Every structure is written in C-alpha cells, then in structure tokens.
Structure 1
Amino acid sequence: MSKLAGRSDRRLSRGSGYPRGIMSRTLAIVLLIPCLHVLADRATLADPPPVIADFEDFLVIEPVGKGGRSPVHTDAIEAAIVDGSWATPEGGDAVLVGRIPRIWQSASAGEGGWLTDDALRGGYALVTVDRDVAGPAILEARGHSMVYVNGAPRPGDPYANGSLRLPVMLEAGENEFIFKVGRGRVKARLVDVPRTEAGVAKTFFFTGADDTVPNAVVGVPLDTYAGVVIGNLGSKWMPDRSILVTGPGGETATSAMPAIPPGSVRKVPIRLVSAAVETPGVATFRVEIVDPGSVEPVDVRTLDVKAVEPSAPRRVTFRSEIDDSVQFYGLVPSSTVPREGDPSGGPGLILTLHGAGVDARRQAAAYAPKDFAHVVAPTNRRKFGFDWEDWGRLDAMEVLDHARRTLGTDPDRQWVTGHSMGGHGTWQAAAHFPDRFAAAAPSAGWIAFHTYGADRIEGDDDPHSIESIMARAANPSDTLLLRDNLDELGIYVLHGDADDNVPVDQARTMRRSLAESHPDFAYHEEPGAGHWWGNRCVDWPPLIRFLEDRSIDRDRNRFRFTTVSPGINAGGDWFRIAQQQRANAPSRVRGTRNDEEGRIEIFTENVARLELDLDDRAPAWTVMIDGEQVGPDAKLDLLNGRGAPAFYDRTPDGWRRRGVINPRAKRPERNGSFKDVFRHQPILVVGTMGDEEEDRVTLAKAIHDAEAFLYRGNGVLDMILDVDFDREQHPRRNVILYGNQKTNAAWSQLLADDPLEIDRTGIRFEGLEVTGDDLAVLAIRPRPDWATVSVGVVAGTGIAGMRLTERIPIFQSGVHYPDLVVFGPESIEPKTAGLQGVRAAAFFDHDWSLGDDHAVRETPKDE
C-alpha cells in the first residue's frame, strides 16, 4: 500500500529553512484570440551561458484541490506544507483529496523540452537535480503558474513568454523544484551564471530579457527612460551601485541603482539621453553597472532604440506615479497639427484598450491616423496584465493624464474604446469614470468576470457576515452595479455575431440594459464576423464618427453618479462622495444645479459625507440634500469671490454642514481596501526579528511578491530590511510590513499606537480577536505621519501562518479583499467549502476603527 505523500512524519530541521515541496497555485482565465505581435527592440549581450540541466524526468500529479478567480482555494499539498508534514514523494505515492487518492506518476519531457500531460491542467510537476557543490544558477522556465525551489516560492511564467530568468541558489546534494502548472505543459532548465572573460562568476548581471524601451523620434532630441532587468546572484543585498548609460553620440546619463535582494531580480529605470537623429534607424546605447570602487564595470550590455518618423506609430515611455517604474504606451499621432493660436482646445484623444496578449503599440497601430485626435494605447501593465482592473485601471487613467499633458489634447474631447479584454476595460473605464469621457465604444467586450464564466462570491441576508463583506469587496469588478453612469456619455457597442471567444450575448445583454432608456446609444452586430475580423473591428468608421461627434458637456444642470468606492472615483468636477455609509456598496447622488438661481438639490443613497466645490456663477448657493435645506442660514457663501469646498455629514438628525475632514479619516485619497496599499510608490519592509526560519520565510514571501508584480504588472516594489527602515527617509509612500509586530522591527515606527496587534498567538483589533499560531493576515491601516498614504500588513501569526500567506493571490485581477481579512489553515483544506476558512473580515469605519462592518468566525465550519 502506498504511503500518503505529503502526510509523512518527515520534517526538516529549523535551520534548514522551509520544508521542501511548497508550491503555489495561480489559475488565470485568459482570452485565446488571434494576437497582434511586435518585434521587440533587442539587447546585445554576451553569448548565453551553458546549460547546467535540462529538466526531462518528472513526477506529475493531477489537481489536488480547487481554485479559481477567488481569494480562497483548496489544495491538499499546500495544506501539508503549511502544517509542516510535507515530504518529498516517490512515484506511486498518493495524496488524498477528501477520500479520493491522487497518484504521483512518472512523466518525461518531449519535443522541444516541453513536458505535456493532462495532469498539468491544474496539477504539479516535480523534478530533482543533484549538485556536488552549492552555488548559484539561473532558472529558465515557461508555462507554470509558480515554482518552489528548495522550498522558496518564485513566480511562474504562465503565458510562456520567456521573460523570467530567475537566480536560484542550489544546495550541495538534492535540489527540488515543484512546478504548479495550469495549462497542461511546462518547460524548464538551469543555466550557468554569467561570467567575465576570465571565467569569474558575476554577482550582478543584466538578464537581457523584458526591456521596456521607447522609440526615438526623427528630428527630436531624446531624453526619457527605459527599464532593464538586473539580477543579484549573491547571498547579500546589492550594495550601492549606479548605472551609466552612454548614447550614440557620447551623451551620458547616470541613474541610481535601487536595492536588489539576494537571489532576486528587479527592473531598474535608466535614463536615455541623445541628440536628435536625422533618419529612421537604430540608436545604440551602452549600459553599464558601475561599482564606485572598481575601474571595470560590473556588467555591460547595449540597448537598441528604434527611431521612427514623427507621423509613425511609436512607443512613449514615462515614470509611473504608481510605483516609480518605467511604463510605456502606444501612440498614433494625429494627422493634423493644430495651428498656433487655434482656439479649438487642441486635438481629441482616443484611449484604446488592447485585448489579451496584444502589444500596446500594435493596438494603436491598428488605427489609421485621425485628423481630429491622437490615438493612445496604454498597456494594462502587460499584454495580459489585470484585465483593465486594479493596476490596469490605474495604468489606463495614468496614461490618459500623461498623454493629455504632453500632447496638449482637449480634456472635453476624450473617448475610450477597446477590443475583447479591452472591451471589458472600456465598460469598466466608462462606468467608473463617466466624467472623463465623452463616449465609450466597446468592441467584442465582455461585461464582468461573472458574466463571462467566472464564479463570484455571493453575500447573504446578513450585510455584516464574512460572505457579504467579501462579496462587497469585489464590487469594483461588477460593471452592472455602475450601469447608471453609462447614461452620462455616448455608447457605441460593436460585436461580431459569430464570435466564438466572447459570446455576442455579452453585447446583447448591454443592449437590453441600455437601449430603451439610454439617451445616446448605438449598436452594431457584424454579420458572420468572429472575434477578430481585422483592423475594422477596432477602427470601424461608424464607431470612429460616433466618437468624433461627441464632447463632454460640462454645463449640464442635471447630474447622476454612482460609485462603489470613493477611492476609485468619488465624483465629478464639483462634488465628491467623500465617505460611504456601507463600504463598497453602491453610493449614489442625483440632482439638479441651477446656476442662475444659485440652487442645488441633491438626493443621496449610501452617502455619509458629501463635498461640494462651487464656483462664482452665483453670489450664494442654496443647498438642498435629500429634501432638507442645509446650512446655518441655508446659504453657501463664496469666499473671496471664489468657490470654497463645503462639507456635509449625514447625522441621526439629518444633514449638517461640517468643517474640513479629519486628515486621518477615511476619504477618497486614502480609502482602502487592502490592495490599494500597492500604489503611491510602495516599499516592502521585511521583518528580521523572528527566528531563522521565520525570517527566511518572510523574506522569500516578499521576494516572491516583488517578482510576481514585475511579471504580472511590469512593476517595481522597492524592498528594505526592517533594521534599515527609517520612515523619515521614505515620506509620502505606502509601506507594506512583512511579518508581525514581534518579527518586524519597523512595526514600532508605523503602528506602535495603532490598535492592530498581531503576534505568534493571534490577532487582536479593538473588539475583534482570533487566536492561533497558524493564521494569515492581510490588513491596511493609515500611515500616522502622512494623511494620504497607508501601511499594509502581510503577516502570519506563526511560521505556519506565514507559509499560508504565500499562496494568497494579491496580483490577480478579479480577486478582492476588504480592509482586513484573516485566513485559517482550514481555508486550503479540500474539505473546506467557499469562505468557511476565512476567520475574520472587516471594512474599517470612517475613523479607521472597527465599527460594525466586521465578522468573526471562531470555529471553522465543514460542509
């Protein structure tokens, strides 16, 4: 009888780090569509290092749990890792999934080095490599969701694009790699580290993969940024270094090198400066890692930048305010250059959102140049990215603002359109930001995850249950909750009636919802057309004319607006929903504004605080809210001839005029929920105050998250050890603490006076308490020294709890969390159903206290 692999009594000693065999699951729903490809600017590097090992002989096992686009999943192997009972399996060993055994079986790679097996549609592939001596190597793998290397979690390459070249530290003896695979195949190998001409291994190196590179424009001097990936093969944090870039004409620019943890990679911004080139072609830059104590550079490469004509489609790079990374967007310049003194307000701007797997420059290039507008295509942070939600949504709006500033476009002539996943992004952008666009035109777009095949969390009759809180956390993904906002702008829906990828029912559902009542709606189904029917399915002449004919009306005297989160969008030009009664439930305002009479009448739903910012079109304003005249004399007087913000709170006695909001309170600038902490140039602070194993697991989790954000979002997450962190040196930034108050020394700088307490015995927050040394906690709190930024917490109450955090999907679109969520180890047991393993969840009150919007489940429930 075979033993139950993963339930053996074999354990690793404390000094050996985590148990081997840990592996994370990340399942992604992607659109398989004809993709637009781009020939990337390539780096010139030394000859590739020799191969150490091609992975050929594996053990594979079918799925041992259930996953999806959800904050919770189950997995019997992970459960064994968390409780410390995992042991390396042999062929024929079994893993019980409930009462059903899954068997580890032998399998071998085939043509091209790919291991293909039906078990790998959600299963695992395990391989071991023996080494005589310890030392670094580089893992090159494709097709996997994630891999654990000798127990350390590393992100995978599910889209098999080859962009990840990860440093790994091999041990003397057996080294174990466990790949979680979702698409049925995986390919992996180890290659030697880069070496100098003398054969000495390099500690820091350019990976040569995944560059973010702009285009130069003929006749225009270049002064912008690129992003290149650098790896640290050493056992210590990368010391102070700089990067020297030399242009084709000898121009130089030096960029600071950020810290890179040992055995990790990160993308680094570099400045590119050169004189104008006179003809299209390639400009070559020399890039060096410079050690101030050495004459010779640490590593050298070249970077080619393609120069294009001013009228040609091109890539534009910029530094993102989200995380200080280098991002790009595609641009097709308008074919008409406005004359000096033209009173038209500048050209318009078509924001076009690409589908899954499509490059942003090629998305833009699918459009012929327009004489009335620039065509701008953001990236969603990657070709697959975040489905235009989360950081994808932030990227779209950041690109809109950057392009508007640099191109001088008319803010009243902005339109959003997109195809497939970008059609979904169009619905999302229009629904969340109706004040930013004159019209929206989705092509082959799906509405929301739950209308397109994904499960969603359903609340129950108790609005403050864990199920209801977690369901509300996901409301930003539900386009239909914001349907009324779509009435504020023109809508053109385009779809092929033979689409076998995004069913035409997605378009027809929106037609049924909008056609009867929408004041400016157009719809076209192309007979016989599938999902992609050439450039016409984005550059469709009637759709383009529809956009051109519409402008934003800033003088409407009737208004209506809905938000599910003021942190995403709080309102229009002159009003904001500053606080909600129930977090992440729809909040609505509607009413009329009469400038001649100086009268505003507003009706609200789920609004706790309202802000009005009025101008001088009336000498004084009478304000009516929910039928009640508000203010000491019912007049909002202007100050110094200009409008001044007025603040109104809902009280038990009705609406009352109040003063400026407490800067520590929840408000649009700092509203939560948890994932919001990964913006405002976040920095990860890694705890070192635990024992050896706790510190190792904590650092590995932080490295994994930083590398996962690089892969998923082309992003950077600065990282620092707690003993090196000084909050005065990192102002105006979100900070994420990895570890609890006993294991992270920076806790005392940021949360010493905060009621949140997490240690090895459990979590306590005012009246909420959950005990145990195996809990995983995600939380967001206000940063005490800055009014607009936050502190995040990724913590375990003990080593098992910290391991439990490793598989929580943070950088996955469609997965949402409230301000606080506590997971128990039963959350990943196959016998656990739904959210029964979530021990606690909360949206904090307006003052960041506990309030009544929380729930605790002390005793796990089995179903």
Structure 2
Amino acid sequence: MSFTLWRGPALLLSLVVALPAPRVDAASQPLPPDSFDAPLRELWTRGAVRFQRQWLIAGPVSPEAAQRIDPARFDVGVGMPLAPDQQSVRWLPQVSWSNVIDVNALPGMAAGHVTFMACDLTSKTDGSLDLAIGSALPYALWVNGEQVHERSSPAAFTPDQDRVAVRLRAGSNRIVLRFQQSQAGPALFTLRPVPTGAVLQRIDEVSPSLDDSQPGTLLVRTHVAETRGAPVQLKVIAAGGTVIAEQTRSRGQAATFDTTNWRDGAYEIRVATSDAWSTSRVQYLPWFKGDAAAAVKRLQSTAAKAPDTSAGDTLRMLSAMALDRLGGSENQAIAPHWRLVHSPLMEFEEVELEAQGKQGRVRSDGFVRIAYRDEVDNSTQYCRAYLPSGYSRGRAWPLIISLHGFNPANPEYFDWWSVDQRHHGIAQTRETIVVEPHGRGNAQYLGIGDRDVLRCLEEASRQFSVDPDRVYLTGESMGGHGTWAIATRHPDRFAAVAPVYGGWDFRITNVSGPALAPAPTTAWQAYGFERASSFANAENLQHVPLLIIHGDADEAVSVENSRHAVRLLQRWGYDVRYHEMPGWAHEDLEQQGAIADWLLKHSRVSDPRTVRIRATDLAGASAYWLEVLASEQPGEIIRVFAEVTEPGIVSVDTTNVATFRIALPQKLRGSESTLQIVWNGERQKLTDGTSAVVLGAQIKSPALRKRAGLEGPLPAVLATPFAIVVGTTSSDARMRALIRERAQRLADQWQSWQHKPLRMLDDTQVTSAEEQKYSLLLIGGSDANAVTRRFASKLPFATSAKGIKVDGREWHAKDAVLQAVYPSPAASDRYVYVVAPTSTAGMYFWRPQLVHFVRGNPLTQFDWIIQDGRRAPPGTLDPVVSSVASGLFDATWRTRDRLTVPRDEQAAAAWTLRQMPQEGFVPAPAALQAIAGRYELFPGVVVTCRVEGSTLVVDAPGPQRPSLAAESDWVYVNPASGDSVEFIRDAAGNVTSAAIEDQGSVLVAKRVP
C-alpha cells in the first residue's frame, strides 16, 4: 500500500508502506509496471519509517471556539479559513527542519489556546497501519473525520509513545490533530506512519521528566514506564558543575530529592544510561528553585551596570534573551515560565562564579559562550562552545566547528536558532569539543564571516585545551557553502571537513538549480562567477579528506552541485567520500553522529611534501609552507604546484605569481645548509640558512602593491575596522543633506543586517589617530568632505562638474558618482573608500557596491565604479552593464585598459534616464491610480502596489511593507535600499509590468488581474 503525506499544493512527500493485500492468482495477472527495480534501486524496507515534517497549521483559537469546530467538516487548504466563524484563522504550510516539532513555537501559539495540524495520506488500497505519535501536549486525532484517539493530559515527550491503529481507504485520507497549549517552554511532537506491528528503532533511550509540585521535593521520573535496560544515573548539578545530589534507578523508577536546603537558582539534572550496545546516552533536564522573576530582574540590573566590554555585552545579551523569551516582561517569570529563561539564568550564575575566581562554564559538559569584540564595527560577537564529558586541561581535545545555515528572518543574535541550547549531543557522546560560530549571521562565511570563524577558532584554542592536529569543519546549507569556502582558503587549519548540501558552481546550476546559471559572456563575468563559486579553490584540499552529503530531492540547493564537486575531487585523486540520500530534501538528514565519527578518525597533515594552490585573490593564496605575496595580474587565477623532491630541494611551478614566500619545515629541509628552489624551471640556491625565503619581485612599498588584506575590491573594506566619514563642507545645502542622508542609509542597512550601529564621524572632527586606526568611507568629494580634500593629492582620482578622472583617464559623465577603494594615505594596513560625485544629482545616484544586505554576498569584484542615472533595461542580470565604467587597479594600484570595463554608451542612450526629483515632488494622482494593482514577480509570488494618499506602498511576502518615493510619475525608489522600480506602459499608455531593480539586476513583474 503506498500513500502520500500531503502538505499543500506542490508540497508532496511520497512514502511507501507495505500492507496485506488479497490473495490473487499471479499467473493470470498482467505484469505490474514496477516489477523490476530502476537501475539505481532503493534499499527495500517493509514500509515507511520516516517522520512527517510537512503540515498545514491553523490557530490559535480559544478553547471555547475550538469546541464549536468540527474536524469532520474541515475544508483544509493553504490560505483557507479554519471555520466559517474563524475567517481570520487560516491554514498555513509549516515545514519542520527535523523530526521533532515544537508546537509551542508554531506561529501564534498562545497559552491556553488551541492549534490544529493537518496532513493527507494517499493510499492505493484499503488497509490498516499504525500512526506512531509522541506528544508532550494533550491532543486529539481524527482520521477521515472520525476521532480515533485522544489524550487529555500532558506527558513527558517520547517519540512513538502512542501507537494508534487506523484504517485507511483507497485514495486520500485526512489526518487532523488538535493541541491545547498547557505548559511553558518546548512542547514537542512527532508523528510517523508505520506498518502494523513494526519494530521501531528507539529514538530516545529514556524519556525523563520532572515533578516539583510538592514544596521541598524534586521528583525525577527516569522513563515513562518500567522497561528493561541499563540503570539510569541521575546527578543534580548546580551552576559551575557542582554535583549536589545523585542517585541510580532502574528504568521507569522515580528518584526523589529533598531540595529544602538547596540554594535558590538554576540547576540541571544529568540523566545518563546506555543502550543495548553499551553506547552512552545522556540527557539534561533544566530546573529552577525559587523566584525566577526576581532572578531575571537581578540579571537586568546587573546587565544595566555592566562595563562597556564583551563581558558586559554578554550580560546585556542574556538580559535581552530572557525578556524576549518572556514576551517582553520579567513579570512572566513565574512557574512554570522559568523553563523559558532557565538557560540565560544559569549562564548568568556561571559568569558570576567566574567573576569571583571560581569554576563556572569551563568544566565537564560545560557550555561556554565565547565573546569577543570585533574591531570591524566594535561589536561583540559570540560563538557557542560545548565541552565534552570529562573535559579537563590535562589533555588536548579534538574540536569540531559546525556552521549554521541561512536564517531568512535574520533576527538579533539572542533570537537566532539554538543560541540558548546548553548541551550538544555530539559533545556529550563523543570525546570532542563542538564549536558553533555565529559567523556574523547571514554573511555567507565570506569577508567578516570568514574572519569570525577563524577568530572563534583562535579564541577556543586559547581558552580550551585543543589538539591543533584534530580540528574539523562541517556545516549545512549556507554552512555547507561556508565549509567549502573556509576550508579551501585555509586548508592547513583542518584535519577533515564535511560540507552538507551546500556549495554551488555557475557551470552546473544556479544555487537551487537544476537550470544552468546564465553563462558568462566576458572574461570579467567569468572571473566574478569564479570568485562566487564554492569550489573555486577546491584544489587546495589536496591533503584534507572530505565527506560530502546531499539529498537528491533538495530543492533549495541542487544536488548537481555536490555531484560536480565530487567528480572534480575524484578525478584529481583526492580523498573524498560521497553520501547521496535518495528522497531526502533540504532538511535535517540525521547524519550528525555519522559525520562526527568520520571526522574524528582523521589527523591533520601538517607538513606535506606537496602544496597545491588555486586562488582568485591573495588572501586565499597560501597553504602550509608556501604563501603567495603578490600576483602579476589582479583579476586572474593564481596557481601554484610546489613539491619537495628531495630534502632541501623544492620545485615550484606557478602562473600569475610575482612574489612568494617559502617557510619550509625542518624535516623537509634535511641537514643541508642550502635550500635549492626551482621556480618555473629556473634553479636558485639560497645559503642564508633562514627558515623563510622570499622569491620574486621585491615589495619595496607595501602601500603601493596589492597584498593579502589590502588588495580590494570595494567590499573588502568591510573586513577591516572602518568608519563612515560624513562630508559637511559643501556650499550646497542639498549636497550636505544628501551626503548625510546617504551615509545614514548605509548605516541603517548595516543595522538591519548586522544589528549593530556603525561608526559615523563628521569630516571636520576626524582625528589623525582615527585616520590611522580605521579604513575611512569618505562620503563626498574634495569640495564636500574635508578628509577627502586632505587626501586628494595622494589619491589617483578626482571629480569635477565636467567628469571623473581615474589615474589620468577622464570619463565625461554628467550627474555621476565615483566610488573607489585605495590604500589609505594615513595607514599602511587600511583603505580609503571614496564616494565623490560630479554634482548633487550625482550624489543622489550613489549605490554602495559592498554586500547584499539581505543575502550577505559581495556585490562586485571591482576596485572602482562610476554610476549615473541610466537604468539598465528590464531583464538585465549583470549589474556591471549599467555603470559608466568599472575597473580593477593593477598589482601596483594603477589603472590599465585591460582592467577597465566601459559601458556601451550607444546602447545606454536608449535606456531610461532617472532624474533626481525636485524637492517636494508629488506624482500625478492619475499616474498613481494607473500603477496600483497586482504584479507577479515569480510564479505564485505576487506583490501588490496600493496608494496611500500620494504614496505608493508595496505589499510583498514577508513582514516589510515599503513605501516608495517618486522620482517621476513612472519611476519610484525604495528609500531604505535605493532600489528603483519603473512601471512599463504599452502604446496605449496602460501599465503592463514593473521593472524592479535588485542591486543592479532588473527583474520584470508582469501585471496580473
């Protein structure tokens, strides 16, 4: 019997369950279409055992209203109302990342209210099966309108605890569940259809629970029922790891603790046992004694008085976390609401213990939130570290870095996934430290994201006893891409890596595929795509084993990307293992344990005899004992193959390498005093006996030669400590206002992306110390910004009303703006990023070419760009074409025609020319009414433009409702992002579509009824 688990239109997951069928005469039957397996056949099982992760949900509704709702009469579908008298409560799709769903975390779930969940099972024949259900909440179950099961009280969550026998009919079968919220904190739920009588693998060895309803007594139930198995060891642990009580009980028995003399505060109960194969299983139960509201208030008070340091910021973050979990008020921290704030309160206690010189977080099974100040924007960044059982500084421990995926909500740090999770299953059951960097959130682990991960590794290695030869890297989705990006740029840091459904390459698909990305038509496009490819530096992994995992049903990141990477690595003879999981999508693949076990088998190759390097920039062009210091031509690939053919003799073959350093380990040098290097066939003998030698062009002036950390392009300024410098000296009042407005827009975009304020300085207040300390984003040319004017003679570009000069070449562009990055005249390791317009209107058209402040990816590979009001035509995907000119500086920070991309001015003459609007401009009412309507951006994705007074408001999927500012009757701009929208009309003057700009690309949304 086969059935489909339904989750709304176009959201299907097919599973197969074997059920008894009537006996027939096989000889008289036609050959079934599935008599033979496909060439890539699946492993046979009797039936489905996967959990249901896709649902429709509706709620919350009051218990009184829920009693009037008859599940037998549900009309279930995406967007449909729950009931005739509940028009505002509609069915919405909900996809769980993992097997377990937290019902209390579903949208809108509220104390004492009811939520409904539904899915469909489609069966080919009539038959019976079991629904295996685990739920912490009371629930009722309907199948095809008939109530078949109900549990009226909460329970300790145990997957598969209830086995409900149900009868399915041929065709569609509707499954409906009703939950009533009855507890604070997580309320977990699972469901999976299984063959009747099937023996299921146990998910949790025991399911412990607490009962503290009797004053002075804590009752810990070890399991939901008495069962066979290893005894259960219970330890009550106070903050700092002090064990204050412990007992051992058989499974199903309860342990009673007298809490009368225990101090008030947070505790954890460690529940440990082992399975039938003697594998350790550990769980933790949180508990709090005393007045949690008072504890939250004390945390708030302490945080408010904390110093302006990373430690003080940690307390303020914990305070914000506690209030967030309580819905904004500490007065909610009453039993049982303490469960919501247990994690920040226990962390607070342990931080206080450390301030007193006592043991706090660094201990066996400890949770340490590493915090440090990032000089980029003076923000405190965090990294979660989970220490293994038995941790001590008496030995060196392996360390696994795990990178998170893209979070569309992009919340503040305290509201990100799992930031209050105090224990990690891998650290508890394997002898390894697990570290989870924040990676600056949605930053794609590039630039500041790469910087954050390496800093977290450095901080963890400083604070804990880490084995440098057993450091590993893994991650899922964006974290999988980050695994590729970081490991390939720093291969000598890692013993092995495991990217999970992450990474893409333009030759194969776009990110989600399966269609190919648009093929590059110029060398510049190809180079830009290469920089964005997750596998651009894959050759660097010669000595780093890889485990790559991907589900073949993944619609978010096409499996073709991983297949491509595997083929590359295999043909090179690299150590790669690939696990492709049939039928699995972009979800928890349940492979964390297998990944950890595989990683921990490997040790780092620290001194290999061969080094391979392929890099798109100097920052990624180093590995082991060889570092490229200068390239010959920026904008081209750097390649190195170096081999120690005999002790002290090194063969080095390169392309696009001007200078490199070799620091050969002693064991590869041998006993010879001389070092012989054969570079591209030319032999050199070096007898100075130094441990590091430099070959190639001499770097006489670091400020005038590109080098790692100071090579551009424009977005690179964000990976250095930087400040915005606002020009205030223009004689034009509107220019001054525009400069401040555009600077504030950039600061607001950073705030929305990183949730941190930027340094903003007025030009006349900048000190020489600040000039030396920061990269400076100089907003305004020499006529409008005092710092730009002070640096002007040392910069190879200038602007005037006639046009823009870049290193002697002039571009006659009216109402245009230059943005360029260049080594700072005031500091050898910092940039200046100059924004210099030809006019006030030119300032109006400035669009920072830094990063996409939603996705986090860099926007350009160029060092300088000239923009004006020309708007590329609808359908343009390459933002470069709209710029007057773009270019790279060469290795010595000079321009070259080869490195410059001018615009096709003949084609651009036909494009729409945007105009800076007159102050107070209001579009014609008739134009606004003509524009109002619905526009389909992608199939099924519709945005609505509506008029509010003289303003155009856009209703789009997501929480934002931007108001667009009018530049003319038919061109509007989003003030927050600077993206423009042009409404296209036909010959009769009717609006037919909207051309929507997204960082230079122009998408077309067709008008629909």
Name which of 404, 411, 417 aligns with 1:354.
404
Post-superposition CA distance 1:130-175 (Å, at most 9, x none): xxxxxxxxxxxxxxxxxxxxxxxxxxxxxxxxxxxxxxxxxxxxxx
Confirm or deny: 8 A CA contact 1:768 1:856 kept in the other structure.
no
Letter of the 1:626 counterpart: N
- Counterpart of 1:146? none
- Counterpart of 2:695? 647
1:111 CA displacement: 9.1
CA distance in 2, matches of 1:376, 1:742: 50
Which structure has the highest helix share of the two?
2
CA distance in 1, matches of 2:53, 2:658: 47
The answer on 1:392 being equivalent to 2:413 is no
CA distance in 2, matches of 1:612, 1:366: 41
1:499 CA displacement: 2.9
- Counterpart of 2:802? 761
Name which of 594, 612, 623 aligns with 1:560.
612
What SS class does the counterpart of residue 637 from structure 1 fall into?
A: coil
Confirm or deny: 8 A CA contact 2:797 2:806 kept in the other structure.
yes
What SS class does the counterpart of residue 426 from structure 2 fall into?
A: coil
- Counterpart of 2:239? 218
Alignment of 1:400-411 (within 5 A): 400-411=457-468
Post-superposition CA distance 1:586-612 (Å, at most 9, x none): 201112125x63111100011122122
Letter of the 2:711 counterpart: N
246 and 783 in structure 1: CA distance in 2 versus 1, 3 angstrom threshold: farther
Unpaired runs of 5+ residues, structure 1, are 1-32, 36-109, 117-215, 222-244, 257-267, 285-301, 461-466, 650-657
Post-superposition CA distance 1:258-295 (Å, at most 9, x none): xxxxxxxxxx9772699xx9xxx9899xxxxxxxxxxx
- Counterpart of 1:837? 882
The answer on 1:592 being equivalent to 2:643 is yes
The answer on 1:501 being equivalent to 2:556 is yes
Post-superposition CA distance 1:175-211 (Å, at most 9, x none): xxxxxxxxxxxxxxxxxxxxxxxxxxxxxxxxxxxxx
1:583 CA displacement: 1.4
CA distance in 1, matches of 2:449, 2:517: 20
CA distance in 2, matches of 1:833, 1:443: 29
680 and 746 in structure 1: CA distance in 2 versus 1, 3 angstrom threshold: same
857 and 364 in structure 1: CA distance in 2 versus 1, 3 angstrom threshold: farther
Letter of the 1:562 counterpart: R
1:860 CA displacement: 4.7
Letter of the 2:775 counterpart: N
CA distance in 2, matches of 1:425, 1:744: 39
The answer on 1:664 being equivalent to 2:717 is no
396 and 714 in structure 1: CA distance in 2 versus 1, 3 angstrom threshold: farther
Confirm or deny: 8 A CA contact 2:473 2:494 kept in the other structure.
yes
833 and 682 in structure 1: CA distance in 2 versus 1, 3 angstrom threshold: closer
The answer on 1:707 being equivalent to 2:728 is no
Letter of the 1:861 counterpart: A
Post-superposition CA distance 1:815-846 (Å, at most 9, x none): 22311111232144549784432221221122
What SS class does the counterpart of residue 905 from structure 2 fall into?
A: coil
Post-superposition CA distance 1:450-495 (Å, at most 9, x none): 53158867654xxxxxx53355345321123322123331110112
1:683 CA displacement: 0.5
1:742 CA displacement: 1.4
In terms of Rg, which structure is larger? 2
700 and 489 in structure 1: CA distance in 2 versus 1, 3 angstrom threshold: same
1:624 CA displacement: 1.0
CA distance in 2, matches of 1:711, 1:674: 20
Confirm or deny: 8 A CA contact 2:788 2:834 kept in the other structure.
no
CA distance in 1, matches of 2:653, 2:238: 52
Alignment of 1:253-652 (within 5 A): 255=307, 271=312, 305-308=344-347, 310=361, 311=365, 313=367, 315-338=369-392, 340=394, 342=395, 346-357=396-407, 359=417, 361=419, 367-369=425-427, 371-382=430-441, 385-448=442-505, 451-453=510-512, 459-460=520-521, 467-469=522-524, 471-533=526-588, 536-537=590-591, 539-541=592-594, 543-567=595-619, 569-593=620-644, 597-614=647-664, 617-618=669-670, 619-630=673-684, 634-639=685-690, 643-649=691-697
338 and 730 in structure 1: CA distance in 2 versus 1, 3 angstrom threshold: same
- Counterpart of 1:786? 827
Letter of the 2:743 counterpart: A
CA distance in 1, matches of 2:701, 2:786: 32
Post-superposition CA distance 1:383-427 (Å, at most 9, x none): xx1222333222222222222222232222111111112112112
CA distance in 2, matches of 1:112, 1:403: 49
Confirm or deny: 8 A CA contact 1:664 1:787 kept in the other structure.
no
Confirm or deny: 8 A CA contact 1:247 1:272 kept in the other structure.
no
- Counterpart of 2:726? 686
- Counterpart of 1:813? 857
Confirm or deny: 8 A CA contact 1:836 1:860 kept in the other structure.
no
Confirm or deny: 8 A CA contact 1:350 1:373 kept in the other structure.
yes
CA RMSD, aligned part only? 3.8
CA distance in 2, matches of 1:332, 1:818: 41
1:737 CA displacement: 0.5
CA distance in 2, matches of 1:548, 1:806: 47
Letter of the 2:567 counterpart: R
CA distance in 1, matches of 2:883, 2:651: 43
The answer on 1:673 being equivalent to 2:673 is no
Give the TM-score normalised by the residue count of structure 1.
0.60
What SS class does the counterpart of residue 440 from structure 1 fall into?
A: strand
The answer on 1:846 being equivalent to 2:885 is no
817 and 364 in structure 1: CA distance in 2 versus 1, 3 angstrom threshold: farther
CA distance in 1, matches of 2:817, 2:767: 26
1:560 CA displacement: 0.8
CA distance in 2, matches of 1:510, 1:251: 48
533 and 804 in structure 1: CA distance in 2 versus 1, 3 angstrom threshold: same
Letter of the 1:840 counterpart: A
What SS class does the counterpart of residue 566 from structure 2 fall into?
A: helix
- Counterpart of 1:226? none
Give the TM-score normalised by the residue count of structure 2.
0.52
698 and 283 in structure 1: CA distance in 2 versus 1, 3 angstrom threshold: closer
CA distance in 2, matches of 1:363, 1:527: 31
Post-superposition CA distance 1:331-373 (Å, at most 9, x none): 2222242453x4xxx2122111111226263799664315432
Post-superposition CA distance 1:37-78 (Å, at most 9, x none): xxxxxxxxxxxxxxxxxxxxxxxxxxxxxxxxxxxxxxxxxx
Confirm or deny: 8 A CA contact 1:685 1:735 kept in the other structure.
yes
What SS class does the counterpart of residue 822 from structure 1 fall into?
A: strand
How many residues of Structure 1 are paired with residues of Structure 2 in the alignment? 570
CA distance in 2, matches of 1:365, 1:796: 54
- Counterpart of 1:86? none
What SS class does the counterpart of residue 603 from structure 2 fall into?
A: coil
1:797 CA displacement: 2.3
532 and 457 in structure 1: CA distance in 2 versus 1, 3 angstrom threshold: closer
Post-superposition CA distance 1:204-248 (Å, at most 9, x none): xxxxxxxxxxxx993399xxxxxxxxxxxxxxxxxxxxxxx9978
Unpaired runs of 5+ residues, structure 2, are 1-51, 55-85, 93-236, 243-296, 325-340, 351-360, 408-415, 911-1009
CA distance in 2, matches of 1:578, 1:272: 38
> How much identity, in percent, do the aligned residues show?
24
CA distance in 1, matches of 2:238, 2:887: 51
Letter of the 2:655 counterpart: E
759 and 471 in structure 1: CA distance in 2 versus 1, 3 angstrom threshold: farther
CA distance in 1, matches of 2:742, 2:588: 44
CA distance in 2, matches of 1:737, 1:457: 35
- Counterpart of 1:722? 763
Post-superposition CA distance 1:714-747 (Å, at most 9, x none): 4442010111112333423211101122111111
1:810 CA displacement: 3.3
